[in-house]
Amino acid sequence: MTGPAVHPAEAMAEVLIDELIRNGACEAVLSPGSRSAPLALALHEADRTGRLRLHVRIDERSAAFLALGLAKASGRPVPVLCTSGTAAANFHPAVVEADLSCVPLLVLTADRPPELRDTGAPQTIDQIRLYGGAVRWFCETGVPERRAGAVAYWRSLAARAYGHATGSHRSPPGPVHLNIAFRDPLVPTRSGSLHPWPEPLAGRPEGEPWCRTTPHRTAEGEPLPATERGVLLLGDGCSDPTPLVAHAQRAGWPVLAEPTSGGRYGPNALTAYPYLLRVPGFLDAHRPDLVVSAGRPGLTRQQTALLHAARAHVVVPGTYPADPARTARAHVHPCASPQADADQADSDNAAPPPSRWMASWLRADRAVREALDALLDDGPAPTAPGIVRALARRLPPGGLLFTGPSLCIRDLDQHLHAPTGTPGPRVLANRGASGIDGVVSSAIGAALAHGGPAWALMGDLTLLHDHNGLLLGPDEPVPDLAILVINNDGGGIFSLLEQAEHTGPFERIFGTPHSTDLSLLAEATGTPYTLLTRSQQLTDVLSGKGLRLIEVRTDRTRDTELRAALQAAAGRAVASMRPPGRIGE
């Protein structure tokens, strides 16, 4: 039995994309180019017939981070395609982020055939293992040829790549790289003659994937150590915080949860812990016997100090088992299922009152939060901490917030509320490599995958670094995304670091003022723009529709002084209620 009359490159592209869709791909991103034409046409056809949704971006770096955001929010591998040469190199930052944050990404790079490599042919670089160890799996697929057995090879290749990306082959989820060489002609020509393919191109019956893979289970469950003086520390990449939060509630442990962990909820979740850990003497009086950590805690140096101070540290491996202080004594996979733990927590109506240990953490957290709120409520003009607090208060449960790095996520960590019941808004960020690149594109991708109202929070340098992400063509899907930009005309985080002591060169090489008019940038990209001058305006501007840019201008020096005042207020609040000695002994 033979297949249709088709060009080899066309056959491979059709089969490869079909098999990725059968495995679960429902979004794809491409940047235009010649060498990638067969795959681009196959993706366009899949989009036209409603089998997946295609997104086109002219900038490869923006395209890759858009795919990263789509994959991060949906949990599904997203194919991203480019032509040969430096186009593939521009995918590298997003590949690194996907590796470190364990986001499933299918990187498809078109390439010249072997006979044209190392000949000076244009748009040709060495793409073999271009991303090094940052990918879970690499395959040089070979040039498509008209021969029997090719269809089975292409379909098993696509299924294997999808499985590696989802973490089904004894490794966490992450990026996979397929380097696909095509010979000319890249697409069928009118003058060229097509011959029947030597076998059918179709896959398994009823749309089944060629080979189904399931996530690999790394270990059987075991109980967490029991102790009264415990702390649960949750960072980015915590795959499922629900059973851990339930365990902390039963054990009477405070929950210190970064915004992107998904674990800042429930009666034991603290909202002012970054301030508490910086108060002199607080950690000495609250030294835990055990810290259980999950994900990648790393927003503050004080988290590392907590890990060093604990008598024991146990890591619960998630998508990324992190031990930043190298203090872990064990990696433990909790034995209870998330649903069982949640059901047990809900049914435990006879829970004992908080121990002296838990009560002391809660009392200090409330005292510090009241002091912080009182100070922030007094400011008439917008400040970075104040506007972040206002944004956090207005995010609805189930909403999506994508936050940039540096001060934005740290301000959010210090002022995000903790619902007493179910989890609040979903917070995402590129915390793998924690760079400022690609945040606009990642936020747009996450909002598109989310499918409802979404918000993004970032600084001015982060916006400028990826302003190409705002370039959406007239036929592209548009997210319902409000991008809130805190513009302090430079890099505000350096004002809090040791570099600030070098006052002479500081402003030029660390502060890096740019004096860019963001309203003109918005106008150039056709993005609706609002300048917010009072915090009270926030509710109105956040309730809009479509992709829009909201700018808040703050003063770096004044924000730095405010942050120092907030920490001083936290110290006074703790001093006013702190008993002598070590809590719980």
d(CA 340, CA 485): 41
Question: Quick one: 384-553 is in which CATH superfamily?
Answer: Thiamin diphosphate (ThDP)-binding fold, Pyr/PP domains (3.40.50.970)
The domain 8-190 is classified under which CATH number: 3.40.50.970, 3.30.420.40, 2.60.40.10, 3.10.20.30?
3.40.50.970
CA–CA gap between residue 431 and residue 404 (Å, rounded):
9
DSSP letters, 14-79, are: HHHHHHHHHHT--EEEE---STTHHHHHHHHHHHHTTSSEEEE-SSHHHHHHHHHHHHHHH-S-EE
Residue 19 to residue 5: CA distance in whole angstroms: 20
Per CATH, 8-190 and 230-337+355-369 having the same topology is answered yes
Can you read off the two tokens belonging to residue 48? 């036209």
Dig out the tokens for 365 from the structure. Answer: 């957290």
User: Which 3-state string (H, E, C) describes 214-254?
Assistant: CCCCCCCCECCCCCCCEEEEECECCCCCHHHHHHHHHHCCC
Domain boundaries, the chain: 8-190, 230-337+355-369, 384-553
CB atoms within 10 A of CB 524: 11
Closest CA to 9 of 1, 205, 17, 91: 17
Mean pLDDT by 10 residues, the chain (585 residues): 89 97 97 96 97 97 98 97 97 97 97 91 92 96 94 95 88 95 84 82 94 67 88 91 94 96 95 96 95 92 93 84 83 63 46 83 96 85 92 89 96 93 89 94 98 95 96 95 96 83 87 94 96 83 89 94 96 82 54
**pTM: predicted TM-score of the whole model, two decimal places:** 0.93
* Beta bridge mates, 550: 484, 530
Contact call for residues 410 and 300 (beta carbons, < 8 A): yes
Q: Which SS3 state, helix, strand or coil, does residue 4 take? A: coil
Q: CA geometry: angle at 115 spanning 112 and 117, to 5°?
A: 55
Q: Give the bridge partners for 400, in sequence order.
A: 426, 454
Cβ count within 10 A of residue 315: 21
Which CATH superfamily, name and number, covers 230-337+355-369? Answer: TPP-binding domain (3.40.50.1220)
- Which of 128, 132, 130 has its CA nearest to residue 142? 128
521: helix, coil or strand? helix
As a whole number of angstroms, the distance between CA 509 and CA 507 comes to 6
Residue 146 and residue 295: Cα distance in Å, rounded?
47
How confident is the model at residue 192, as a pLDDT?
A: 65
Tokens of 150: 């090719």
Residue 170 confidence (pLDDT): 74
Quick one: pLDDT at residue 216? Answer: 58
DSSP H helices, 527-579, are: 538-542, 556-575
pLDDT of residue 93: 97
Task: Note the pLDDT of residue 396.
Answer: 86
